[in-house]
Structure 1
Amino acid sequence: MTTHTHEVLVVGSGAGGAMAAYTLANEGHKVLMLEAGRNYDPKTETPMFKRNSDAPLMGAGNKDKNFGFYDATVDGGWQVPGEPYTQGSGSEWMWWRARMLGGRTNHWGRYSLRFSQHDFKGKTRDGLGADWPIDYEDLAPWYDKTEDIVGVCGTNTGLDDMPPSAEGVLMPPPKPRVPELLVAAAAKKLGIPAVPMHRAVLTRPKDDRAACFYATPCGHGCSIGAAFQTTTSLIPLAKKTGNLDVITDAMVKQVNVDERGKVTGVTYVDKNTSAEKSLTAKVVILAASACESARIMLNSKSKAHPKGVANSSGQIGRNLMDSTGAYLGALIPTLKNRPRYNEDGHTANHLFIPWWGHKQHEKGELDFPRGYHFEIGSGFGEPGAWVSGDLDGYGAPLKASVREHYGAYVGFALRGEMLPNKHSYMEIDDKVTDKWGIPVAKFHFQWAEHELKQVEHGLKTAKKILENMGAKVGELPPAEKAISRGGQIIHEVGTTRMGSSPKDSVTNQWGQTWDCNNLFVMDAGVFASNPHKNCTLTIMTLAMRNASWLSEQLNKGVI
């Protein structure tokens, strides 16, 4: 064992790990962060001003760069060399891993929607899934603090699916684009609102980060810090305190315990030398992502924890959920051949359609239990390798048709809530190891009828909105074909869920494991449900709240 002067070991440098480290470092605690991926400096590595025309295949994605040639991810993806995962019979699960300092915050969509009062007590309302051991009121002040530190633009809409932020917290949103205004008018005819998306992109300068000037896609990474990522904000801010040290290329193998089962530290593999190293600390925080943290815990077996550390409930790896996903788009005749102008904005949709059906759920008017939202794709994006499938011909007539159609498409990306089911979980595959000899994760996954009915409803709704804009949509695909594959939306949660009892949950409301009072989980694994909203803002909010509580316990000498 190597004894360090650090009180707390944090595994992971993404949303949860960086926020936990930032919070604890600012409270005066010595923190050591371990990151399985390589070091990454967005100020020097980000290809902010590169254009698709400068890249192979016009910047299109490939197996090494799934989201395009200039995507910020440097060593990760759906498949990571030397780090396989396996599937159960009949299962299709896609596991995205970033493997870089800052994790997925370097390339995420930066949609930052608060969970609402509807999202925390779903089981009480409809008898399905599990309730959270907290209410919205418990998180509301922490959402304010997180939004303020991160820098979120948007407005208080007054809608029941979008709780308000405190006055002065939100930065002004960018103005809607022409296609989005058309969507808003078409949706309004159905009684459905379209409102500004809340997004972790600065529209005003903050600390040493600049305001967005709408230069290049946020997915490239952001060297000026306008588009939030922990590598330009939380990590350097925590380092400034003098209380945070970081080790990259550190693949954590297991959580270590003493003969009584108390956590003493971790063992990791130095990926540069393949040497195993062990560290000790008062507290270990796992924030490696829902499935990676669960894999570490399941691999941490001992006499005191025969099913994996802190797994007396048998719930680690269970309750695996992802957001539902589906897409429907069409050509809008009104938008053909419109005048060209700069429509970049802050990359993603300036308006979106939040869930509007809570009252319908209360009245029993819907045949599925949980909601969804629509993200809108439209506008004059940077040309790439893609050409619409409904164009034909060649030469001058084809070019004229492409120009006519440029910026005239509108698409709706559905993102919805999944309920946990007994067929969706992860375990350890005892027959397969990664290149460092660590047993890998094995996934089992199925969508249920709840999700298929939800997607069916969403496709029908999207079709009505598109038709209100004059589009010809045609026959809709069946939900079974339209729905995304498990893990494809990269919103996996629930594998170490929090609860009110150690019998059916892994942690309490503070992310503290029931079995080990000095082992915490601070990533999306603790989510008791998977609301339709993107999960990163809530990961950071919980991490700040729970790390603040942990700091109090350390100062009192309770831990």
Structure 2
Amino acid sequence: MSGFAHDVLVVGSGAGGAMAAYELTRQGHKVLMLEAGRNYDPRTETPMFRPNSAAPLMGASTPDKDFGFYDSTVDGGWQVPDEPYTTAEGSEFLWWRSRMLGGRTNHWGRYSLRFSEHDFKGKSRDGLGADWPFDYDDIAPWYDKTEALIGVCGTNTGLDDMPPSSDGVLQPPPVPRVPELLIAAAAKKHGITAVPMHRAVLTRPLDERAPCFWATPCGHGCSIGAAFQTTTSLLPMAQATGNLRIVTDAMVKTVATDDQGKVTGVVYVDKKTGTEREQGAKVVVLAASACETARILLNSKSHSHPDGLANSSGQVGRNLMDSTGAGLSALVPALMNRPRYNEDGHTANHLFIPWWGHEAHANGELDFPRGYHFELGGRFSEPGAHVSGNLQGYGTALKRQVRAHYGAYVSFSLRGEMLPNEHCYMDIDPSVTDKWGIPVPRFHWKWSQHELRQVAHGLKTAKAILETMGATVDELPTPEEAIKKGGEIIHEVGTTRMGDSSRDSVTNQWGQTWDCPNLFVMDGGVFASSPHKNCTLTIMTLAMRNSAWLADQLKARRL
């Protein structure tokens, strides 16, 4: 790395790290980025046009390819070779790691929903969890900037759960599909509204990126840049300034400090050679993902920081949250045997159902404190390895049933808010290390009654809408049976949460750690709560806002 004098060292190349690099380099600061995974070029490695029929097992999920053979996560997953993690007795938790340049942005769902005033100030309403140390109005202009930069399609709905974007920010959404229109009509009879989902998928050209042409699954990755990922946008933009250098296969072990406890850089392992290296920096930004960043901090013990770096509050690793998840699907007779046509769209739902219960919460009409939304499924999609339904017979009769059922199933995927609880946290396993000798995280997890009651409400609501559509729905599972495992939605946040005081939070509102002024966190770990909305848009928005603040501090020589 000789010959590149940097101001800031950024750990991680996903949503937070790439946005931090983009904003800092744009403002003239030199940035060195360390990425634990391998290099990845979506323009040459993306299997956009390869059909399931050409893949082993018709492209089905396998233990080493959790989201199917063509999923763009090339080396990561729930389990990563040489990188174990553990769970405490009685706990179930899944930790997803991408281990590639661009991180999870290469394969995420691209759902891009703004948090609202309800989401930032939940504790002020119901006394639970923690408020964020700023108001919605403080971040609204930064949401505009982020949406315009990455390219988000959708509409301003006027609903209280969906704050509006400024005029001209959102790109037009794709038209709804027939199954989605049927769901919307049925939901309306229950006083529930379905609206266009906001997604980071281009429907109009933007800078060097082409609009989506509705042909291939977003999960394969997107070589034309229509489906947002940092490898086709923020990282090339930052590199074009001449101010960014990226080092891949660089597994950060600890943050280095001097005898006075001041951050001086990081210690990392070159995974290709197994060599341990130390890299100095004026400012360190951790954006390695919530649990990876917490692991680095907890492992960074010293005389000045005996409980781990930036952990005088004892909150590093605490407040671990994920979105709740549950699902319900059914065969809708009205959709059977309909004429075949291309219904791909941008692969994910064009319509969804945002949370409609803020007034009910305020009136004390619900037995759970926070909301959820429904992501909707149902379309003519590329056939895979599995055939749904209660099919009988064989030969011509069986084929007739399969054809009749094709495109006739609809699904409701619940994604809800989780409140932090004392049983959900991560610490460092006292005896297990990874291939490079780095102590690994140990996860503790337990859903509370808040989440279980929320899921019960969601299942009953989905059942009611499905039955209104004419579907037959079997007896519902219990919430305990239906709810996904911790971490399974891949929205883990909160392990280094921000706040107003160093007593009960790890960073201030700018992601600056209370204990170390030249150490910042810019991933989902800083979230003070875990709203039901997907977290990536807010990770990027915070990273842009906080990096702009950091850039000003550097220019003023305050750091």
TM interval, short-chain normalised: over 0.9
Whole-angstrom CA distance in 1 between matches of 2:41 and 2:343? 29
* Contact 1:2 1:279 (C-alpha < 8 Å) held by counterparts: no
The match for 1:85 is 85
Return the offset for 1:162: 0.2
3-state DSSP class of the match of 2:279?
A: strand
Residue 215 of structure 1 deviates from its aligned partner by: 1.2
Deviations 1:451-508 (A, max 9, x none): 0000000000000000010000021000000000000000000000000000000000
- Paired with 2:2 and 2:341, the residues of 1 have a C-alpha distance of 60
Looking at structure 2, the residues matched to 537 and 329 of structure 1 have their Cα atoms a distance apart, in angstroms, of 28
**Stretches (4+) displaced over 2 A:** 1-4
* SS of alignment partner, residue 319 of structure 1: coil
Q: Which amino acid aligns with 1:42?
A: P
Q: Which residue of the partner structure matches residue 68 of structure 2?
A: 68
- Show the 5 A alignment for 1:212-227: 212-227=212-227
Deviations 1:103-145 (A, max 9, x none): 0000000000000000011111001000100110011000000
Q: Are 1:410 and 2:410 matched, yes or no?
A: yes
When the two chains are superposed, the root-mean-square deviation of aligned CA atoms in Å is 0.8
Structure 2 CA distance for partners of 1:225 and 1:3, relative to 1, 3 Å: closer
The answer for the alignment partner of 1:357 in structure 2 is 357
Q: Alpha-carbon deviations, 1:329-352, whole Å to 9, x = none? A: 000000000000100000100000
Once residues 84 and 474 of structure 2 are traced to their aligned partners in structure 1, the CA distance between those partners, rounded to angstroms, is 40
Contact 1:423–1:444 (CA<8 Å) still a contact in 2? yes
Question: What is the aligned partner in structure 1 of residue 511 from structure 2?
Answer: 511
Distance apart, 1:254 and its partner CA: 0.3
Correspondence 1:289-300 to 2 at 5 A: 289-300=289-300
Q: Distance in 2 between matches of 1:123 and 1:490?
A: 24
Counterparts of residues 418-457 of structure 1 (less than 5 Å): 418-457=418-457
Aligned residue in 2 for 1:12: 12
Counterparts of 1:78-477 in structure 2, within 5 Å, are: 78-477=78-477
Deviation at 1:48, TM superposition (A): 0.4
> Separation in 2 of the partners of 1:551 and 1:507?
17
Q: Deviations over 1:179-232 (max 9, x none)?
A: 000000000000000000000000001111000001100000000000000000
Percentage of pairs with the same residue:
76
Task: Tell me the secondary structure at the aligned position of residue 373 of structure 1.
Answer: strand
Deviations 1:391-448 (A, max 9, x none): 1211110000000000000000000000000000000012000000000000000000
SS of residue in 1 equivalent to 2:32: strand
1: CA distance, partners of 2:20 / 2:377: 34
Query: What amino acid is the match of 2:86?
Result: T
| DSSP-derived class of the 1:298 partner | helix
Partner SS state of residue 238, structure 1: helix
Letter in 1 for 2:45: E
CA deviations 1:296-337 (Å, max 9, x no partner) are: 000000001001111000000000000000000000000000
Task: Name the CA distance, whole Å, in 2 between partners of 1:327 and 1:263.
Answer: 45
Deviating more after overlay: 97-106 vs 387-396: 387-396
Q: Is the 8 A contact 1:40 1:100 kept in 2?
A: yes
Partner amino acid, structure 2, of 1:367: D
Q: How far apart are 1:369 and its partner, in Å?
A: 0.1
* C-alpha separation in 1, matches of 2:182 and 2:368: 29
Q: Which one-letter code corresponds to 2:89 in the other structure? A: S
Cα deviation code 1:11-34 (max 9, x no counterpart): 000000000000000000000000
On the 8 A contact 1:2/1:278 being kept in 2, the answer is no
CA-CA distance at 1:389 after TM superposition: 3.8
One-letter code aligned to 2:334: T
Return the alpha-carbon distance in structure 2 between the equivalents of residues 29 and 43 of structure 1. 28
CA distance in 2, matches of 1:319, 1:389: 40
Question: What amino acid is aligned across from residue 528 of structure 2 in structure 1?
Answer: A
What is the DSSP-based 3-state SS (H/G/I as helix, E as strand, rest coil) of the residue aligned with 2:260? coil
Checking the alignment, whether the CA contact within 8 Å between 1:425 and 1:444 is kept in structure 2 is yes
Match of 1:46 in 2: 46
Q: Secondary structure in 1 aligned to 2:376?
A: strand
Deviation at 1:3, TM superposition (A): 9.4
Contact 1:376 1:413 in 2 (8 A): yes
Equivalent residue for 1:33? Answer: 33
Distance 2:514 2:493 in 1: 19
**SS state at 1:213 partner:** coil
Distance 1:128 1:206 in 2: 41
Take 2:508 and 2:3, find their aligned partners in 1: how far apart are those partners?
29
- Provide the C-alpha distance between the structure 1 equivalents of 2:267 and 2:478, rounded to a whole number of angstroms: 48
Over 3 Å counting, the alpha-carbon distance change for 1:152 and 1:344 in structure 2 is same
Report if the CA contact (8 A) 1:4-1:280 is conserved. no
Q: 1:44-78: CA deviations, max 9, x gaps?
A: 00000000001010010101110000000000000
Residue 529 (1) aligns with residue 517 (2): no
In 2, the alpha carbon distance for the partners of 1:25 and 1:510 equals 18
Distance in 2 separating the partners of 1:214 and 1:307:
51
Q: Distance in 2 between matches of 1:135 and 1:82?
A: 42
Structure 2 residue identity aligned to 1:33: M
Q: Distance in 2 between the 1:124 and 1:185 partners?
A: 35
C-alpha distance in 2 between matches for 1:39 and 1:48: 19
CA distance in 1, matches of 2:445, 2:393: 43
8 Å contact from structure 1 (residues 153, 200) kept in 2: yes
With structure 1 as the length reference, what TM-score do the two structures score?
0.99
SS in 1 for 2:268: strand
State the secondary structure of the residue aligned to 2:254: strand
- What is the aligned length? 559
Q: What CA distance in whole angstroms lies between the structure 1 residues aligned with 2:6 and 2:300? A: 22
Counterpart Cα distance in 2 of 1:223 and 1:67:
19
Which residue identity lines up with residue 443 of structure 2 in the other structure? Answer: F
Q: How far apart are residue 4 of structure 1 and its match?
A: 5.3
Q: Distance in 1 between matches of 2:121 and 2:237?
A: 35
Alpha-carbon offset, residue 2 of structure 1: 8.1
The one-letter amino acid of 1:337's match is N
Tell whether the 8 Å contact from 1:267 to 1:277 is kept in structure 2 after alignment: yes
- Give the secondary-structure state (helix, strand or coil) at the position aligned to 1:96: coil
Q: Secondary structure of 2:252's partner?
A: strand
Contact 1:315 1:504 in 2 (8 A): yes
